[in-house]
Structure 1
């Protein structure tokens, strides 16, 4: 029961911080959203800053677990992919908000996400799902930045294309397009030439 209360508080904060902004979101508002007392929020997290750090850690942990499960075979299981997409919506909304500043908190979160993404990429390379790279950290940093950029700009993407990247249907529509971008956009000869420059 105690863990459930902690989770409710964290989930409420992850909804409210992006919606209202960090400064405008009070402990009392988070407590009301979670259905607990403000004292319980402080008991579990110590402060609003402690709660934000817990939200950041949760995003990193869930990101890693989803990626691990995907590499373990989940990417080929429609029910897993549907559940992962549903969970990813709230994670990506929070991540887009958290990364929208040049704050120390955003820098620390990006660094943690990058470390996890590099570790996951190494596992995917070992399983033959991903091509190796001469500079895996740089490639992963650029790839992660593009993913975060899509989350930051999701409303503009939805307005201009009708693709809601935070919905299962939107992910289904976007996936073949993203695969085209990553794998089939450039002619092989052009790619060889670019690699030599």
Structure 2
């Protein structure tokens, strides 16, 4: 938890901004009076369903890759600094938001044929979730890419591709193999 206390502001912003984005989506929807009667709404739903399905597939593939990196320096640093809880929360949060958006988008495809207050309320919930989904997906993908592309070896050799020789590459991989 020491790292959380050290970086509490950045961590808090990182955890809160998806809610702010979701509220902004709802404000924009209300300001421009957008609803399920919008021309092309069916296409928007189909696009969101496709996009959320792709994101779910990406998360599934990345989580599989993350398992292979469990002994990497970056994940060891997460454990050492007590940040695994925040990491798990962010990954579960984004995956849950993705599934919710997918399910509610499918429901919205049927509800658009039944105008009324329930459909209007469902549209507001859907708008909030889409905003939250986009923000959490961006957050999770950024985090996953930082983990995957984090250099396991913090030495100077190999961290500058401009002057790395084949022998440097071999030495770096040998050291990494010896450490494990």
Q: Structure 1 length as normaliser, TM-score?
A: 0.27
Higher gyration radius (CA): 2
Query: Which structure carries more relative contact order (alpha carbon 8 Å, separation 6+)?
Result: 2
